[in-house]
Amino acid sequence: MAIKQLCVCVSAAVHTILHDLLPASTYFRFNPYTSEQFVLDEVRANKWEQMRQDTEMYCRKNAQQLSQAVALLQQPKPLHRRIADHLQLKLDSIG
């Protein structure tokens, strides 16, 4: 239990730092609320349905933020960024 609480605290601290330091509309944190805690290997159909409903509600409530993130991700990279990415890919492949 102490590890989970530590992770939540660290996650919240990282969120605060990134939110404060990065320019507006460049950092998005999607942290959906669920009606209950689910295990990662859940197989019961009713639990999957509840997760789906929780996800749909979260998306409805955060539609504007989701749309902003999608629009930002769909913007083409500037030429200098594409060149830097290409060079980094080449360096990674040889070394």
58-79 pLDDT tens trace: 999 999 999 999 999 999 999 9
CB atoms within 10 A of CB 57: 14
pLDDT higher for 5 or 43? 43
pLDDT at 3: 53
Task: State the pLDDT confidence band at 31, using cuts at 50, 70 and 90.
Answer: confident
Burial (CB count <10 Å: 0-12, 13-18, 19+), residue 49: exposed
